A and B are shown apart, each in its own frame.
Chain A
Amino acid sequence: MSVTKMVYPLYQLGNPQLRIFRPSWFLTLVRPGKEQPPDTVQFRIPMDMTKYDVKNYLEKIYNVPVGVVRTRIQFGSNKKRNHLNQRVKKPDYKVAYVQLAQSQTFTFPDIFPEKDRTLKEGSMEEMQEKFMEDEKQRQKSDPRRGGVTEWFGL
């Protein structure tokens, strides 16, 4: 049963447990802005998800042992103005801080590692780099002048 907008049926004592198959919620794992303890993972979640939804989602679909979940709603600013002086709203979003159980830890991985820029010997790029460096050196003024321009002097 695919759901587009969650409408929870009213629960009365004796009703079967609410079951959601193939939810249309998608979580985004983000790098925390402020430093978090090693067992805390930070997600951006849809606004209609609750703490218990997040817990069940991670436990049932991804088999992640979840200890406790705390959520908050981040207000997106409405202050910026466009070229027509109209206020532009940045969308609000909900953030969930998930603390893992069974003393598991998680660190956000480095997605963009620094690459070593060593160029191949004798290639076009290397010769171009060298040429550009020589040009820059030629443009620079004499360091012994201490920043004084060359208008003055002999």
Chain B
Amino acid sequence: MAARIRLPLLLPRSFPPLRSLKHVHTEAVKEPQYPPIVASLTAKSKSARLRQNEERIKLISSSPVEEKLSLITRIQRMKFVVYPQTFSRNPDRWYQHFTKTAYIPGLPEKFNPTTEGSQLATDQPAVPEIDDAAFSEIRDLVTRVILHEHWHKMRKRQPFLYKHQEQVVGPFLKTLVSELTYNLAKYNPLLRLSSLDFSPQVNFYWRRGKRIIPKGHRRGRQEPIRFQIDDHPHSQIRIPQQLPQFAPLEASYTAEVPEIHLAPNVMPLFRRQYDNNIFTGAKLPDPACYGHTQFHLVPDRYHRDRLARQQHSDQVEPFLRANAAASLFAWTGAQAMYQGFWDYQDVSRPFVSQAVITDGHFFSFFCYQLNTLALSVETDANNPRKNLLWGTESLRLYEGVQDGAVVGLDDCVLRLLVQFLMNRPHS
């Protein structure tokens, strides 16, 4: 109502324009920058747990390799101890499931002579860089080693129960490996820079799959299943450069890995809690950090003669395959971890190693390519990569020793052995 308004006695001529008042406020003060809204780190909630895990993953990813290894293997908890040489039945399927390995019978194309060149095979030498004269030298060397161990060596008494492999075949393999490596070093310059270890230790620790804790104060919660391999191969060759891959990474997408939905303790596999170790055979600063070949000895307990007596002859090949899968997975995995790759930082290039498993007469050759280290549940959800294992059946090297001569020395097996040791990166 007009009469109630008290106007000042002197009204200004023109009121100040209101439009310009709008911009005054924004020029003087900027928009406040709030910190990102994330879940709490210390609350007793699931999101806090997830955030703690993320922080831990970030911390591990950004630390140098030594610290990374110690952070990953710091906490000790109950884990399944996987023995590469095991008495369980059909262990190869179980071990392939634990290590996400697909088995391909036969060796990669590199070691198989091509069928197109079969006519030329008779003209060409057995192994590309080694001509016939050198190959016959190697054959003589091998016969000398066999005769030294089984014919010329004086044995006062026969080895006692279950000591034959350790006391007779062990030294034979040791001399064979060292002599062959030394002789082939003139054809393969990489072997001159290699390191030959005898009875080294290879350890690996990883997590795969989840289980629900059935009893205890943590009942009903999810827990990852942890595994540890502590392997003692007979000997191994480590090199300073990496071997070339046998197959491209994408080729492993179609490979089949056996899936087992039962708990590992049914296999039977037992759990223990002790130090989590990751070790290739040499410590971290060693320049020969990549693996070339491992040599394994079949113990007396799993010798094919003993298994034949117990009517378990069909378990010989699965035993060898499981041994190769576990040992080589542990070795290549440890090599990859030494380079800084782990569960959440998957390998950018495949890691390759070879193995020869023997019981003195029969030799089996295996090649392994590690394509992925991401085996835990979170990282494996969308991971199409699989690890690959190529392998042969057991091949007889020689029939026996008679009257100071080796009978039935097989050239194919020798050729494979030489090819394995001659394997080197293309320079």
Contact = CB atoms under 8 A, between A and B. Distances in A.
A70 B262 contact: no
Interface stretch (A5-13, A33-41, A75-83, A85-93): A33-41
B268 interface: yes
A68 B262 contact: no
B89 interface: yes
Contacts of A35: 262-263, 266
B312 interface: yes
A39 B91 CA distance: 13
B311 A101 contact: yes
Interface in B264-287: 266-268
A36 to B, nearest CB: 6
Contacts of A36: 262, 266
Interface string A30-56: 000011110110000000000000000
Find the residue from B89, B262, B263, B311 having the highest chain A CB count within 10 A.
B89
B262 A101 contact: no
A68 B311 CA distance: 11
A103 to B, nearest CB: 8
Interface string A85-110: 00000000000000101110000000
A39 B262 contact: no
Contacts of B311: 101
B253 to A, nearest CB: 28
Contacts of A39: 89-90
Category for how many chain A residues contact B? 10 to 19
Contact of B262 (A37, A99, A102, A103): A37
B380 to A, nearest CB: 22
A40 B266 contact: yes
A23 interface: no
A37 B266 contact: yes
A37 B87 CA distance: 16
Contacts of B260: 37
Interface in B68-96: 87, 89-90
Interface in B233-265: 260, 262-263
A101 B268 CA distance: 16
Given A35-B262, A39-B89, A99-B89, A70 B268 contact: yes
B268 A67 contact: no
Contacts of B89: 39, 67-68, 99
Contacts of A99: 89
A70 B265 CA distance: 13
B24 to A, nearest CB: 60
Nearest to A102: B314
Contacts of B312: 67, 101
Nearest to A66: B311
A141 B312 CA distance: 69
Nearest to A65: B311
Nearest to B87: A68
A67 B91 CA distance: 13
Contacts of A34: 263, 266
A103 B267 CA distance: 15
Interface in B151-202: none
A67 B314 CA distance: 11
A37 B97 CA distance: 14
A110 B272 CA distance: 37
Nearest to A36: B266
A102 B90 CA distance: 11
A36 B260 CA distance: 11
Contacts of A103: 314
A36 B262 CA distance: 7
A70 B87 CA distance: 12
Contacts of B87: 68
B244 to A, nearest CB: 38
A70 B89 CA distance: 12
Interface string B311-327: 11010000000000000
A7 B213 CA distance: 44
A102 B262 CA distance: 21
A37 B262 CA distance: 7
| Closest 8 A/B residue pairs (Cβ) | A67-B89, A99-B89, A35-B262, A68-B89, A37-B262, A37-B266, A36-B266, A70-B268
Interface of B: 87, 89-90, 260, 262-263, 266-268, 311-312, 314
23 contacts: A34-B263, A34-B266, A35-B262, A35-B263, A35-B266, A36-B262, A36-B266, A37-B260, A37-B262, A37-B266, A37-B267, A39-B89, A39-B90, A67-B89, A67-B312, A68-B89, A70-B268, A99-B89, A101-B311, A101-B312, A101-B314, A102-B314, A103-B314
Given A37-B266, A39-B90, 8 more contacts: A34-B263, A37-B260, A37-B267, A39-B89, A40-B266, A101-B311, A101-B312, A101-B314
